[in-house]
Amino acid sequence: MSVKVFIDGSAGTTGLRIADRLAARPEIELLSISEEGRKDVNERAKVINSADLAFLCLPDAASKEVMPLLRPDVKVLDTSTAFRTDPNWVYGFPELRGQKEKIKNACRVAVPGCYASGFISIMRPLVELGLAGAGDFYSCTGISGYSGGGKKMIADYESPDRPAHGKLDAPKSYGLSLGHKHLPEMAAITGLTTPPTFVPVVADYYAGMETMIPLDLPALGLTAQQAADALAEYYAGQKMISVHPLNEGTDGGFLAANKLAGLDRLEIFCLANPDGTQMELISLFDNLGKGSSGAAVQCMNLMLGLDETAGLAL
């Protein structure tokens, strides 16, 4: 028996990647809509209400517009920032303690943001276990391939008319007003009372993401080994997140941000300086994989009672 699934916003980067992951799955029947229907919120709602599950791959306003028109029992996965801190929605990060069962039983799941996934994967366990204070100050730097910027940014980077030796050749920091759209969930889901200082960087490669969090270990009253062991224990047995032992796993001291491009898993690296006073915790993953479409399909599998990793590349 097939499951009826509709992707609202299937022409965008996230929607296309979800459709790619579902196309070869015989248990999934992908519903379609006419081009005219895509422009009519009532027509979109009609198709969603005929589905067992729908992905909303839309801008925030469009997601908020269609939700009041939907049956309360239709399962919805929203990939925008619209509902990630809404208490009526379940946050779609299955590896957090107790979250997998919530997702399995939910009709409304908000898929995490890409940078937020990397930050939360590290800070939520440390705060939850009492190893990092919820009121302490943290900073984070993220680096992403240009696919995270959507169709326009992809077109700019891949344009045949792109000027040589131009500004797109160099990594570009942005969000410099310190108001990035992922900050509310980065604080809310980790339990921090204030969001971190966060600066993202986009660079000239297609896909792959690193989020990097420095820790002052004496200030936290924590050793590097304790932090590494705590993260490893927290994610033990998880299929899509793994933790490298302390000071292991890099490529000769280097770590390419696109190392996991095309895959749907996330790896955590625990790196400390020789005297053990400073630590860098790094989450490495594909911004289009565990950072968006892969995470959305993982949540869909759980909501439909299917194998958690079905259709995903590990």
Letter for the amino acid at 1? M
Q: What's the rounded Cα separation, in Å, for the pair 295 and 314?
A: 12
Q: Is 114 a catalytic residue?
A: yes
Q: Which residue has the tokens 């339990």?
A: 191
Q: Which of 57, 107, 114, 270 is catalytic?
A: 114
Residue pair 53/108 in contact (Cβ under 8 Å)? The answer is no
Letter for the amino acid at 132? A
Q: What interhelical angle do 183-190 and 114-128 show, nearest 10? A: 20
Catalytic positions, please? Answer: 114
